[in-house]
Amino acid sequence: MPSDLAIGIHDLSFRTTGLVLSHTELARCNGTDIAKYHQGIGQRAMSLPTADEDIVTMAAAAAAPLVERHGTDRIRTVVLATESSVDQSKAAGIYVHSLLGMEPHVRVVEMKQACYSATAALQFAAGLVHRDPQEQVLVIASDISRYDLDSPGEATQGAAAAAMLVSADPALLELTRPSGLFTADVMDFWRPNYRTTALVNGKESIAAYLEAVEGAWKDYQRRGGLPLEEFRAFCYHQPYTRMAFKAHRQLLETCGAQADEETLDHALAATTGYNETVGNSYTASMYLALAALLDDADDLTEQTVGLFSYGSGSVAEFFAGRVRAGYKAHLRGEAHREAIGSRRAVDYGTYRELREQTLPTDGGWYELPHETRGPYRLAALRDHQRVYEAA
């Protein structure tokens, strides 16, 4: 096969949940100065799931437009990346495979490493396509982030799924080599199996993220990566959008480059539009940043974009992509904006009630209320089994 084979993201789609809590409402009820949310962390709202929405329903909703446009004949692998898994054994992607009506001759796996694993899935997919350029891989990142009520992390909660079709001769973004990698054993953020909410050491998390930015970039440079001035924009994992600005400042200072606000805005401003109103979607976060950049930036044809993926604990990767000619004809900006704009706003009291609800764990038969406006829903729990259906 040709060594110069172009492989990358052929199509990109994301969806979020049906409910939204504004940070204005959150601040009004918990006594926080709204500037702490709007300017301090760069967040304006957070997506919340209805009772019948979860990572599977979001993942299927995000992937359905890709299947509708391209079909499934060439898809031989589905990889779902998440840290909000619904089962310790069965891959959530198998439910998605069923909801989308895909043929049985497909491998389906789930990947986990905090917020990083969608990038591992993307690289796995690129390797499979390189081995067989006729094959396409469906990569889905889907997460719902939850923190303890009244905790510092509460304002960064969110939910979304991003689906990518990885192929040869991609329409949107060609992945380029090399990658810069960095791993360190730190306890900045973690969620033991017995907890439904994550534990966070805030200061340690910021420090670990910034250390990973510097470490991954230096490895990228050691392996022959492009110089800083070759990049038009940078997409970072955004646990909150201002973290991307902290990260890029760290990268610029590492390179000995100017790190003023104008420089930061030029590189990042177009990447935050979706994340600032969806909240932290963990594995999907960086790919919502990429979607925002492609949907909203001026013409990026043949421009190089830097991508930094971080997962607490920690694993990070810096890599690059070249935007393909004609990419604008394949974008889904209108659908993305509709997904965000169609959410139903809830007040603080309703939000608290939703957070206090939990699914039964006794193995009984329970029908869930039909609340989602999305195309798929979690319909029931029966004998410890989740039952999904088209809505």
- Binding site per annotation, positions for (3S)-3-hydroxy-3-methylglutaryl-CoA: 33, 147, 246, 280
- Percent of residues in the chain assigned helix, strand, coil, to nearest 5: 40, 25, 35
Contact of 162 with 33, CB cutoff 8 Å: no
H or E, element range at 336: helix 333-341
Catalytically active residues are 83, 115, 237
Per DSSP, 190 falls in state E
**How big is the chain, counted in residues?**
391
Per the omega criterion (within 30 degrees of 0), is the bond before 178 cis?
Answer: yes
Please classify residue 79 by burial: count the beta carbons closer than 10 Å to its beta carbon, then call 0-12 exposed, 13-18 middle and 19+ buried: buried
Question: Per the structure block, which two tokens stand in for 149?
Answer: 């009520």
Question: Per the structure block, which two tokens stand in for 57?
Answer: 């329903």
Residue type, 205: S
Q: What is the dihedral of CA 11, 300, 15, 318, to 10 degrees?
A: 90
* Residue 153, helix vs strand vs coil: coil
Per DSSP, 369 falls in state P
**Which residues participate in the annotated binding site?**
33, 147, 246, 280
Q: How far apart are CA 274 and CA 154, in angstroms?
A: 18
Q: Which of 273, 281, 320, 318 is nearest to 300 (CA)?
A: 320
H or E, element range at 205: helix 202-222
Q: Annotate 271-284 with b (16+ C-beta within 10 A) or e (fewer).
A: bbbbbbbbbbbbbb
Contact of 75 with 64, CB cutoff 8 Å: no
Q: How far apart are CA 207 and CA 188, in angstroms?
A: 9
